[in-house]
Amino acid sequence: MTETPAPAGIWKTPFTIEMANRFGEGTANAHLGIEITEAGPDYLVGRMPVDHRTKQPAGILHGGASVLLAETLASWAGNFVVDATTQSVVGQEINANHLRPGLSGWVTGITRPIHIGKRSQVWETHITDEAGKLVCISRMTLAVIDRPVPRTKG
């Protein structure tokens, strides 16, 4: 299988959609069925099923699952915007407004940066249902941190 690199744009760390999905194996992403599906020059897209894994007891999409999708997309995008050999990102704050229920099928999220700074990033994610109606809008702040320098014995 040939992997297609993300298009040029804001990305500093080279990645492919396939690579991002492989990294999600064995995590909450995979457990909830989250898949990264597309990367553009300044956005990342993913989807999540509305099924027994992601619904609340009332039979609609659980708001926490929507937030997990939003955080997944913003965190991946944030990590791809920095040079992963020297930096990483960690979440500081996330909020979400749930606007209408997800009932079945798939929801799709697209995240775009609002701010990309040296020490912080802010990403906005819009989650829509299969009819293209807005289900949730989320904003996440990430802190950009330096990766620890490996210690040498001596």
**CATH number of the CATH domain containing 61:** 3.10.129.10
Tally of domains in the chain: 1
Domain that holds residue 109: 17-146
**β-strand 120-128 against 44-49: which pairing, if any?**
unpaired
Burial (CB count within 10 angstroms: exposed 0-12, middle 13-18, buried 19+), residue 154: exposed
pLDDT at 13: 93
Q: Which residues are catalytic?
A: 71
Domain assignment present for 154? no
Residue 65 neighbours by CB distance under 10 Å: 24
Residue 7 located in a structural domain? no
**pLDDT value of residue 154:** 61
pLDDT at position 115: 97
Name the phi and psi angles at 42, rounded to 5: -145, 25
Q: Which residues of the chain have pLDDT under 50?
A: none
Amino acid occupying residue 19: M
5 in a structural domain = no
The answer to whether residue 12 is domain-embedded is: no
Residue 153 domain flag: no
